[in-house]
Amino acid sequence: MLKSKVTISDVAKAAGVSSSAVSYALNDKPGVSAATRDKVLKVADKMGWRPNSAAKSLSDASTRSIGLVLTYDTQVLSVETYTMELISGLTAELEAEGYSLLVRSAHSARSEMDVLKEWIATGAVDGVLLLNIELGDPRVELFSAHPEMPVLLLCDTSMSGGLTALADDEQGSAHLLVDYCHELGHQRIARVAGPERFGHTFTRDNAFMEETAELDLQYSCFHTDYSPEEGRRCTERLLSLPKPPTAIIYDNDVMAVAALQTAAKLGVSVPDQLSIISWDDSFLCNVSSPSVTALSRNVVRRGHQSARMLLDMIDGEDVESMIDAPSELVFRDSSGPLAG
């Protein structure tokens, strides 16, 4: 390994001053005369000095990075764009402060816990972002026991166990969706949801039951794994009921688009006989035919916001949990009043 790296003492030697003088000068701190400061800066610049990141981390106990564990399986990651949009927003915001995103993958909940414990014990990151919080999630307990590690949870505050969370406005979204279906005249609506163990699924379930009860609508719900196969299967089951729903809301875009195919196969016309709505918007919803009405969440902005909150926590500020800006419903061709 070539060690062409320039250190502070190299600069000190070249400038004919002490290493502390160099350190003060480079960090713009008092303790050196203007003359030596100028000389040091000039020499350091000419020698191409940059602070060694490991040494800096060791010295001030910060790594200038936040951690994210990817747990989705490859299948899902290849299809959904949520994680990529989130990463995009996160890194863009972190960039402004010179922070990095440290990404690791885990093939199971257990191995994710191992990575998180390692981060806490080794100080490899300054903060952590947690996704897909489940009911009774062990990660909540872990970070509750380690208040020294800043952590932000993307989940409803009801399951963050007192930790700081950035929540989706699920209640508001459910209201928006149910209201829209009601206005179109639908009386029987259904939902094809994500896995029941996920916190946000639980929150959505409750919100949907409330909203539909309020308007006296019939409501049924299936829980799945977000895959197109499950989307198709649930759609078939729902449409073969004696009194099938006339509007179905899918918890992600992939299932909604897959459902279009199923409807076509069964000879059910969209939107004349069936309205299909996706809880997630994406390019998929835009290019399918018919295009799919969807709830747009602006995940990139969410990434920015998450990074901002984490950076503030790392700065020692007391950051309160908050609810993200409400989603917007994007009207497209897959929804409408019953016809014929």
* Residues 52-81 contacting its own copies, CB under 8 A: 52-55, 57-58, 61, 63, 65, 70, 72, 74, 77-79, 81
Compute the distance between CA of residue 199 and CA of residue 87 in angstroms, rounded to an integer: 21
Q: What is the dihedral of CA 196, 168, 73, 86, to 10 degrees?
A: 180
Total length of the chain: 340
Nearest Cα neighbor of 270 from 299, 251, 250, 296 is: 250
**Smallest distance, Å, CB 180 to DNA?**
55
Which of helix, strand or coil describes residue 296? strand
Pattern 236-255, its own copies, x by CB under 8 A: ------------------x-
- Is 266 an interacting residue with respect to its own copies (CB under 8 A)? no
**Beta-ladder partners of 127:** 66
- Is 330 an interacting residue with respect to its own copies (CB under 8 A)? no
* Full DSSP string of 201-221: HHHHHHHHHHHHHHTT-EEEE
Kindly list the distances between the CA atom of residue 313 and the CA atoms of 99, 138, 321, in Å, as whole numbers in the listed order.
14, 22, 11
**Smallest distance, Å, CB 41 to DNA?**
13
**Smallest distance, Å, CB 120 to DNA?**
13
Strands (E), 4-159: 65-70, 100-105, 127-130, 151-153
Total interface residues for its own copies by CB under 8 A = 67
26 binds, among DNA, its own copies, none (CB under 5 to 8 A by kind): DNA
- Strand ordering across the sheet containing 275-278: 218-223, 188-193, 247-250, 275-278, 293-296, 328-330
Compute the distance between CA of residue 227 and CA of residue 257 in angstroms, rounded to an integer: 11
In the complex, the residues that contact DNA under the rule CB under 7 A are 3, 5, 7-9, 16-21, 23-24, 26-27, 29-33, 35-36, 49-52, 55-56, 58-61
**Smallest distance, Å, CB 18 to DNA?**
3
Q: Which is nearer to its own copies, 145 or 339 (CB)?
A: 145
260 binds, among its own copies, DNA, none (CB under 5 to 8 A by kind): its own copies
Catalog residues that contact its own copies under the rule CB under 8 A: 1-2, 4-6, 48-55, 57-58, 61, 63, 65, 70, 72, 74, 77-79, 81, 83-85, 87-89, 91-92, 94-95, 100-107, 111, 118, 121-124, 146-148, 228, 254, 257-258, 260-261, 264, 282-284, 287-289, 299-300
